[in-house]
């Protein structure tokens, strides 16, 4: 009987690598280096995207009921940044200044922040659920937030719907409620199976949607219209203090999510493979799931249900730049933010002075693009 | 490339260093019993029932058996993708259940059977993921860092070994089954493991690449150190390339021994419940299994 030697000093595969035996000698990774994400490529792409974002934001600030000339706009922005109060004697300039700094700028910034958050959460959920169709709505958290806000309206939280300060809080509470329900329902034997998570999300979405429709149907027509617009996704001009609150909250959540970028690469391979590559998948899933729910709840509470960005943007960016989440996540965030800024500008200018809910623009732009992607994939597979 | 494992001590060498008389086992499986949670309430049948065996360091062990005999479940337990209800598994003397997942991943590389890939990572990116368990632990516990030059060099070497270096820039979603399988083996080797677990490593490979996988196994074995445990339905592959073979049926060990002891006509016919022919490989003299020809009457 042939038996291998069972004794003797152990030698690891690394030892063999280190003494040059066993594996062919290579030029120290030159081939691999050309086929992976490098720091210089990351900086180049993110730099180009950042410049595009700045350019698009200037265009968005320019357009509106009263277009502001680019030179004037830059002068006002620079004077605001340097706290220069010169030229305030001119009443017309004052109005322009107010329009730019108090109305358009906060709204453009909010649009960027919401777009960033939706696209980032989309990237993370697609990797975590291993489903390229996943987006922030699949877990039912956004429906929960919407239901919370709808209940707020039903309980008479103010007369003018979108001016309510209480409604974001109601929406946020609804999002947390949905998170707790999904979490408790989907968890079994101290594990969080992804299929249970998806199924629970689908069921919760159905229940919450029905409840929202019920609430909408019993509201008086004025408030019902406001809520329908909000449900379709609408951005408004926030106050700077409100904007800073949202910025701080979302920034912290997104930074915590961005910390997991390399782990997301591994999680995207599937749970078992991720575990064999050293990830505590249960812990990673829990923390990422909670963070995505918190971001989604906050975003829905300030902007309603803006669809398709979380699904389409990561998909398109992945096709363009590859699947490495260290680039995919920040790049999708920038593209998502830029896309929503542009979409919102269209929403407020296309048939001005009437505003279209921005969710309609994103759905009309994103839906056909998604169908195109599916057809493209089908052709490619064929 | 010295010092790849510096600061990454897996803490498993103690067993081997102090043990002079007692042989050093890569795995020791003691009275192992396992069943899946979901089937527990439906019936009391164990998927794996009272399994005990050892795998010596540097050994190539083949696990064979009919469909549903518990091979894949056993591999999952060895990789701690599942936990046994009874009994235990030790890895180089340490209880597997007491080890962190990344500690295990620095010692055990797994090549899964399912090679379905969803996202278009390049081959180079996929192989480099094998270096994830070796990432330096920073104080923030982040997982967004970069691979070192050492990581990249190791990845390229294993890609050369598995003949996938020319595919480095291709997306894994665009590869043939064989290319993808070789990429996954390269990823597991990039973990610089001491144990390699392979689930049907030749299932998607043509004859040329089956032979290549066999010769890679031979090389790894000849160089010593790397313990290989592979599951396969290909009895000839395990007969030719494995030191010992574990034959499972209905969750129990039927035979454990060298190929001559296990690849034996009567044993195989009773386990697989069909007729087979077993003769000797003309080159190696090891047992060779052939299906009965269509001209051969049943029971002849």
pLDDT per position as a tens digit, B117-153: 778 899 999 999 999 998 876 655 455 677 888 899 9
For residues B92 and B224, state if they share a domain.
yes
Beta bridge partners of B90: B28, B95
Q: How does residue A12 score in pLDDT terms, banded at 50, 70 and 90?
A: very low
CA distance A283 to chain B (A): 11
- Contact flag A14-B109 (C-beta cutoff 8 Å): no
Q: What is the CATH number of the domain that holds B78?
A: 3.40.50.300
Confidence check: pLDDT of A170 > 80: no
For residues B217 and B69, state if they share a domain.
yes
> Tokens 């006002």 sit at which residue?
A76
For residues B159 and B15, state if they share a domain.
no
| Surface of B (16-45) touching A: CB under 8 A | 16-17, 19-20, 23-25, 37
For residues B45 and B158, state if they share a domain.
no
Three-state SS across A95-162?
Answer: HHHHHHHHHHHHHHHHHHHHHHHHHHHHHHHHHHCCCCCCCCCCCCHHHHHHHHHHHHHHCCCCCCHH
For residues B205 and B95, state if they share a domain.
yes
Give the closest residue to A258 by CA, choosing from A298, A287, A286: A287
- Contact flag B257-A22 (C-beta cutoff 8 Å): no
For residues B217 and B91, state if they share a domain.
yes
Q: Which burial class, exposed, middle or buried, applies to A351 when counting CB atoms under 10 A from its CB (0-12, 13-18, 19+)?
A: exposed
8 Å CB contact between B33 and B48: yes
Judge whether B292 lies within some domain.
no
Q: In sequence order, what are the residues at sequence separation of 6 or more whose Cβ sits closer than 8 angstroms to the Cβ of residue A221?
A: none
* Dist CA B96 CA B74 (whole Å): 14
CA distance A310 to chain B (A): 17
| CB neighbours of residue B278 within 10 Å | 17
- Contact flag A32-B169 (C-beta cutoff 8 Å): no
Give the residue from chain B lying closest to A27, CA to CA: B153
For residues B59 and B205, state if they share a domain.
yes
Q: Give the model confidence (pLDDT) of B272-294 as tens digits.
A: 988 888 999 998 899 999 887 76
CATH T-level topology, domain A59-381: ABC transporter involved in vitamin B12 uptake, BtuC (1.10.3470)
| Surface of B (210-249) touching A: CB under 8 A | 219-221, 223-226, 243-244
Confidence check: pLDDT of B161 > 70: yes
Chain center to CA of A22 = 46
Pairing assessment for the beta strands B48-56 and B94-95 based on DSSP bridges:
unpaired
Which residues of chain A neighbour B228 with C-beta distances below 8 Å? none
Coil, helix or strand for B62?
strand
Q: How does residue B295 score in pLDDT terms, banded at 50, 70 and 90?
A: low
Q: Give the model confidence (pLDDT) of A303-328 as tens digits.
A: 888 888 888 899 889 888 888 999 99
Task: Compute the average pLDDT of residues A92-99.
Answer: 81
Confidence check: pLDDT of A70 > 90: no
pLDDT of residue B280: 92
Judge whether B289 lies within some domain.
no
Judge whether B43 lies within some domain.
yes
* Dist CA B192 CA A341 (whole Å): 47
* Dist CA A138 CA A303 (whole Å): 18
pLDDT of residue A344: 93
Which residues of chain A neighbour B59 with C-beta distances below 8 Å? 4, 6
Judge whether B226 lies within some domain.
yes
The residue of A1, A16, A23, A189 whose CB has the most chain B CBs within 10 angstroms, and thus the best one to mutate to test that interface, is A23
**Domains in chain B, number:** 2
Weakest mean pLDDT among A47-51, A344-348, B111-115:
B111-115
| Surface of B (184-213) touching A: CB under 8 A | 189, 191-194
Give the residue from chain A lying closest to B153, CA to CA: A29
Q: What is the ipTM of this complex?
A: 0.85
Judge whether B278 lies within some domain.
no
B219 token code pair? 């090389």
Q: In sequence order, what are the residues at sequence separation of 6 or more whose Cβ sits closer than 8 angstroms to the Cβ of residue A186?
A: A192, A193, A196, A197, A199, A200
- Contact flag A275-B80 (C-beta cutoff 8 Å): yes
A28: left (phi over 0), alpha (psi -120 to 50) or beta: left
Residue numbers of the domain that contains B175: 121-135+145-192
The residue of B16, B106, B118 whose CB has the most chain A CBs within 10 angstroms, and thus the best one to mutate to test that interface, is B118
Confidence check: pLDDT of A254 > 70: yes
For residues B46 and B175, state if they share a domain.
no
* Dist CA A340 CA A118 (whole Å): 10
For residues B14 and B96, state if they share a domain.
yes
CA distance A381 to chain B (A): 10
What secondary structure does DSSP assign to A328-379, as a single string? HHHHHHHHHHHHHHHHHHHHHHTTTTSPPPHHHHHHHHHHHHHHHHHHHHHH
Which of B56, B155, B258 minimises the CB distance to A6? B56
For residues B36 and B65, state if they share a domain.
yes
Which of A29, A281, A318 minimises the CB distance to B149? A29
CA distance B292 to chain A (A): 28
For residues B201 and B150, state if they share a domain.
no
Judge whether B266 lies within some domain.
no
Q: Give the model confidence (pLDDT) of A341-356 as tens digits.
A: 999 999 988 887 788 8
């Amino acid at each position: 009987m042939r038996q291998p030697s069972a004794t003797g000093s152990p030698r690891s595969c690394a030892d063999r690598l280190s003494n040059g035996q066993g594996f062919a000698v290579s030029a120290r990774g030159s081939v691999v280096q050309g086929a992976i994400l490098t720091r210089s490529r990351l900086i180049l792409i993110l730099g180009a995207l950042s410049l595009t974002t700045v350019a698009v934001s200037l265009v968005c600030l320019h357009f509106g009921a009263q277009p502001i000339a680019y030179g004037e706009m830059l002068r006002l922005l620079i004077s605001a940044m340097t706290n220069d109060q010169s030229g305030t004697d001119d009443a017309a300039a004052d109005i322009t200044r107010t329009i730019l700094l108090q109305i358009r700028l906060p709204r453009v910034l909010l649009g960027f922040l919401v777009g960033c958050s939706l696209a980032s959460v989309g990237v993370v959920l697609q990797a975590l659920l291993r489903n390229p169709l996943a987006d922030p709505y699949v877990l039912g958290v956004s429906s929960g937030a919407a239901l919370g806000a709808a209940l707020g309206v039903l309980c008479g939280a103010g007369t003018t719907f979108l001016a309510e300060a209480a409604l974001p809080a109601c929406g946020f509470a609804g999002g947390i409620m949905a998170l707790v329900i999904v979490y408790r329902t989907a968890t079994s034997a101290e594990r969080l199976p992804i299929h249970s998570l998806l199924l629970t999300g689908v069921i919760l979405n159905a229940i919450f949607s029905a409840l929202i429709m019920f609430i909408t149907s019993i509201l008086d027509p004025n408030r019902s219209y406001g809520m329908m617009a909000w449900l379709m996704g609408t951005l408004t001009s926030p106050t700077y203090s409100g904007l800073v609150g949202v910025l701080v909250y979302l920034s912290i959540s997104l930074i915590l999510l961005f910390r997991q970028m390399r782990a997301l690469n591994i999680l995207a391979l599937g749970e078992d493979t991720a575990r064999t590559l050293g990830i505590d998948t249960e812990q990673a899933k829990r923390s990422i799931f909670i963070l995505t729910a918190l971001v989604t709840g906050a975003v829905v509470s300030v902007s309603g249900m803006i669809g398709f960005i979380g699904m389409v943007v990561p998909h398109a960016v992945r096709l363009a730049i590859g699947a490495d989440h260290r680039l995919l996540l920040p790049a999708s965030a920038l593209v998502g933010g830029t896309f929503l800024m542009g979409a919102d500008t269209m929403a407020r200018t296309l048939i001005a002075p009437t505003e279209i809910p921005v969710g309609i623009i994103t759905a009309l732009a994103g839906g056909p693009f998604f169908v195109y992607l599916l057809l493209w994939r089908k052709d490619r597979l064929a | 490339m010295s010092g790849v494992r510096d600061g990454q001590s897996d803490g498993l060498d103690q067993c081997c260093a102090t043990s002079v008389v007692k042989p050093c086992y890569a795995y020791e499986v003691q009275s192992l019993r396992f069943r899946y949670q979901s089937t527990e309430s439906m019936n009391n049948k164990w998927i794996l029932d009272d399994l005990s065996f050892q795998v010596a360091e540097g050994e190539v062990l083949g696990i064979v058996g009919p469909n549903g005999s518990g091979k894949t479940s056993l591999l999952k337990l060895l990789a701690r993708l599942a936990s046994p209800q009874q009994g235990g598994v030790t890895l180089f003397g340490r209880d597997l259940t007491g080890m962190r997942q990344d500690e295990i991943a620095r010692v055990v590389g797994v090549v899964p059977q399912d090679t379905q890939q969803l996202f278009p990572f390049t081959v180079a990116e996929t192989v480099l993921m094998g270096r994830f368990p070796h990432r330096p632990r920073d104080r923030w516990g982040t997982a967004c860092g970069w691979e070192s030059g050492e990581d990249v060099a190791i990845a390229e070497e294993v890609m050369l070994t598995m003949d996938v270096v020319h595919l480095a820039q291709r997306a894994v979603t665009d590869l043939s089954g064989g290319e993808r399988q070789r990429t996954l083996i390269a990823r597991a080797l990039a973990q610089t493991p001491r144990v390699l677990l392979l689930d049907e490593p030749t299932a998607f490979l043509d004859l040329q690449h089956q032979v290549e996988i066999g010769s890679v196994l031979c090389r790894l074995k000849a160089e010593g150190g790397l313990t290989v445990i592979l599951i396969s339905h290909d009895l000839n592959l395990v007969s030719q390339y494995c030191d010992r073979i574990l034959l499972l049926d209905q969750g129990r060990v039927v035979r454990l021994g060298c190929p001559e002891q296990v690849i034996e006509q009567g044993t195989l016919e009773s386990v697989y419940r069909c007729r087979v022919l077993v003769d000797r490989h003309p080159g190696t003299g090891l047992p060779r299994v052939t299906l009965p020809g269509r001209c051969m009457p049943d029971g002849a």
